[in-house]
Structure formats: structure tokens, C-alpha cells
Amino acid sequence: MGQFGNQPDFATNDIQEITPNDTITNQYFLNGAVIYIGDNTTTGTHMKVIPAGTVGPSVVTALSSPGYAGSGGTGYTAANNVVTTTTGSGTALTVNTTVAGGAVTSIVIGNNAGTGYLNGDLITVTGGGANAVFRIVAAPGLPTAAQAVTFKGLQAGGFLPVTVDYVLATGTTVAELIAAK
């Protein structure tokens, strides 16, 4: 039972002291934790966080056929790190191709997965007849520091008013932080 009759505690498990860190990886992922501020009298009153559920730029994970005849194009030879063009959002993707009879039959990400692509964007493989078309399969990426929010004027002994996934070191001046879910 919580502090009020018939109400559960909102932070009942996975309570741990945390140290802010600018590395945005699963190791520092707080999974929608509430943050308790233990002391800020000696270091300051700012906390820079990435709110829970913030999604970063998409990451290209695969390429697939758009599902129509002839999408493998004509006049191609197998090659690695072939530049692509897009009718969508991204740039700089390179691909490795497998070819049979001049048509691209298999395609994988080359040395560069590019940036800015969205799931479903169409890319065209350069070379050959410049007519081999494939669909981007993208997954949400990790958030970036540019998506962080800074809270100022925080009081010791209080909770941050939002749930967070990351607490960044750069821009955070509060100390003795506890994360709880």
C-alpha cells in the first residue's frame, strides 16, 4: 500500500543511484524512470535528460524488393559499395549486389548505411540501366543529445516532473540522483 489509502507506491522496484553519462546506449537506458534529486546545494540546479519514449533517427537494417516484376533492373554486374539514389528522405547509402542475367537478385547494405532514411523509402541502384529499385527497411534509432531537454531550478528532495530514458552528464549540475520505476 502506498502513502495514501488504496494507492500503490509509484516507485516500487529497480531503485538505483545513477551517474549522468553522455553515452546513449542500452547500458545507460533508464526505461522511463522517475528521477529523485537528493542534493543540489553544492553543484547547481540543472538536469539535462532525454524524456521517455524519445526516438532517434531511423537506422537502415535491410533492403527488400518492392514486389513488382522488373524491380531488379537490367544491365547490372555484381559489385560492392555501389552508390544509390533515393526518392525518399535519405542520402549516402551504399549497397553490395548479387546479379543474375543483368538483374539485381540480392542486395545488402555496403560500407555506409547512409542517414535520414525512413522505413519504406525507395532507392535506386546506380550503374546498369539505373533501374533496380529496392525498399528501405528501417528501425527507430537511439535518441541523440540534440533531443535532450534541460530542466532548471530543481529542488533538492524532489522528483523531476517527467519520466526519462537518459540523464546526460553535459548540462547536468544536480547531484545524488536516484532512478526508480
Q: How many residues does the chain have?
A: 181
Please report the pLDDT score of residue 12 as a whole number.
Answer: 61
Round to whole Å and give the CA distance between 63 and 65.
Answer: 7
- Per-residue model confidence (pLDDT) at position 10: 57
Mention every residue, 6+ apart, whose C-beta is less than 8 A from residue 160: 34, 35, 37, 47, 49, 151, 154
Query: Are the beta carbons of 100 and 49 closer than 8 angstroms?
Result: no
Closest C-alpha to 154, from 169, 175, 168: 175
Q: pTM for the full model?
A: 0.71
Per-residue pLDDT of the chain (181 residues; tens, 9 = 90+): 344 444 445 556 678 899 999 999 999 999 999 999 887 666 678 999 999 999 998 999 999 999 898 999 999 999 999 999 987 788 999 999 999 999 999 999 999 999 889 999 999 999 999 999 999 999 999 999 999 999 998 888 888 889 999 999 999 988 889 898 8
